[in-house]
Chain A
């Protein structure tokens, strides 16, 4: 009981420090820059039929979603899926780099050290390969969760009789659980210079050692963004009740919410990891 109280106290400190770091705008600016790339990509996907994007996007959409997806408003029906895959690629190319850089910046902010963005970028670059390998493993696991959990749920009468929302919620919680296994990997790679395999192993170990806090760390930011993600994932509803463009608006709003949620996630995980590491 005393241990849990102690952990909760550290968890609280991590949140407080994370909020205090907002005063240094540079970390948040990094997340804003990433969000602006995502928003720009939504605009590009919404204007797939117009030059200069049509030359690239039209053949891709036709190949993966069929000729029907090239018609208005069908393109908005596939927009969330297209953005999902674009986001997966972007996170593999840039997202992990951003999280690595932010982790270094958060650490220095919590330690009251001054470090420029350029310096933290330079310290992240050599670790990019490790981060990428961990990302591949984590993404594969998440893709498996998103594909197989709904299929599994359909085999239960309880879920089969209910609407998609129940299945989506359960799948999201399964994804949060899967993500919690990798929660500390970036901190381990960036702050303790661990290799990918060792980082995954140690992250798992930390996850099992502090299950409640780990789940809290990952679940809270994800719960904040879940309603917006669920809304953005229902294009049929948005098109019939409002306008097709509302699908794009919903995705952009979910990007904004995710920007805050990710900032808090990386900040609190780094803060908590540092406090646990000091103890160990």
Chain B
């Protein structure tokens, strides 16, 4: 009996000791949250090993694990660590949606973040930026502009003029350009706010890197407005005031191109390009200066000498496919302008074969077929379109599920549509979504299909497609035009 009493006393003592040592429940809560976040992170890492081959269930598992963290800690937990975990979870969920091409879902997640943490000093700027970019990708331009404007208002102040944040500094120009794309009436002074912003930066931090960038963006605005003289004045001032900046060769190159393409002043352009080559003979941009000089020669009527210069550029810059493709295309165009199509065709084919992944390489097969079609040479046009389709199909097989494959499929749709092969074109437009899944190809698919059905007089199908588009992308900038089109088509039916 005494032993029993002893055991009872010891047992009660141990329980009381543990009860007294129950500790801080906040540490337990935080620990569990960290464990859940860590496990979600492991699933995220599994996806990130190769996001392209990760399966839908891999993505779902990772998103689910992060959502689990958020659902277990709703509302404000009054714990900085847990809140940090929740914020990071939301940002990662959005990233996972973006990787799957589910931009709408990513935007919803960013909006959730901004709803919970409207003024977050840590991730706020990033989330606004990512949200704006995502909205921009699905052409929800009003929302994108609103997000960028929040960024300019809240984070637009240049804090370090020696190391300015370029992502922020470029925003006023970006907003103006987006407003132009979203169909803001042309009479409205689109660029005024941006110009005011850049002027204030230049005034506040004269001679600084921030002022340099602001002036450069001002030149871009003048270029958008096709005010070539203003562009040249601004660039000339920049070249004089900042002769030692690493961007100086780029400034001179832009200046030369402006004389050549903007004002058509070949002599002035050559003077600037030569000056660039004298001052920066070893700079990697020198190839572009030689390219500019050769184009200037062709434009001033000395085509043979110009082509020799272009060939020199191609042979001396084999590691720059974009420059080489541009030079090769300029050679081909110069022959075409002289009326020597046979020789031009050889040069165009050379662009396609040598630089298939460049913009020029993509464009050339369709251009050749279009040339024959416009000339009324039906048989040659048919063969060329088929060759172009084969070329693009080959690229899609070689680079599956990439942006490149999506662009190639769009060219195929175009080639089929131009030939009025409506059924095949419609099939190609439908399969565009599978070639490169994502919102961009989703939109293209709808618009191509609508046009195909419309052109093939399948009006009811066209209306159906446009209505589906309107349901899925109600904020798209062309939605007004689409709805008007639907009305017109209805009347036609």
Which of A's residues lie within 8 Å of B, judged by CB? 49-56, 58, 70-73, 75, 243-244
Contacts and interface: CB of A to CB of B under 8 A. Distances in A.
B23 A71 contact: no
Nearest to A243: B42
Contact of A54 (B19, B27, B34, B35): B27
A54 B24 contact: yes
Given A51-B22, A54-B21, A55-B20, A70 B38 contact: no
Given A72-B38, A73-B38, A244-B38, A52 B31 contact: no
Nearest to A70: B27
A54 B19 CA distance: 11
A178 B32 CA distance: 43
Nearest to A62: B27
B82 to A, nearest CB: 12
Contacts of B39: 243
B4 interface: no
B28 A51 contact: yes
19 contacts: A49-B27, A49-B30, A49-B31, A49-B32, A50-B28, A51-B22, A51-B23, A52-B21, A53-B21, A53-B23, A54-B21, A54-B27, A54-B28, A55-B18, A71-B30, A72-B34, A72-B35, A73-B35, A73-B38
B18 A52 contact: yes
Given A70-B27, A71-B31, A52 B38 contact: no
A56 B30 CA distance: 18
B10 to A, nearest CB: 16
Nearest to B35: A72
A55 B35 contact: no
B22 to A, nearest CB: 4
Interface of B: 18-25, 27-28, 30-32, 34-35, 38-39, 42, 81
A54 B23 contact: yes
B68 to A, nearest CB: 15
Nearest to B17: A52
Contacts of A51: 18, 21-23, 25, 28
A55 B23 CA distance: 4
A221 to B, nearest CB: 35
Nearest to B34: A72
Contact of B19 (A50, A52, A58, A71): A52
Nearest to B42: A243
Nearest to A48: B31
Contact of B28 (A49, A56, A243, A244): A49
B43 to A, nearest CB: 12
Given A49-B28, A52-B19, A73-B34, 8 more contacts: A53-B23, A54-B21, A55-B18, A58-B27, A71-B30, A71-B34, A71-B81, A73-B35
Given A49-B27, A72-B31, A55 B38 contact: no
Contacts of B24: 54, 58
Contacts of B38: 72-73, 244
A89 to B, nearest CB: 18
B282 to A, nearest CB: 41
A91 B410 CA distance: 74
Contacts of B23: 49, 51-56, 58
A55 B18 CA distance: 8
B17 to A, nearest CB: 8
A117 to B, nearest CB: 18
A75 B20 CA distance: 23
Contacts of A71: 30-31, 34, 81
A71 B20 CA distance: 23
A56 to B, nearest CB: 5
A50 B22 CA distance: 8
Nearest to A52: B18
A49 to B, nearest CB: 4
Nearest to A54: B23
Nearest to B22: A51
Nearest to A239: B38
A194 to B, nearest CB: 35
B414 to A, nearest CB: 49
Contacts of B19: 52
Contacts of B34: 71-73
Contacts of B18: 51-52, 55
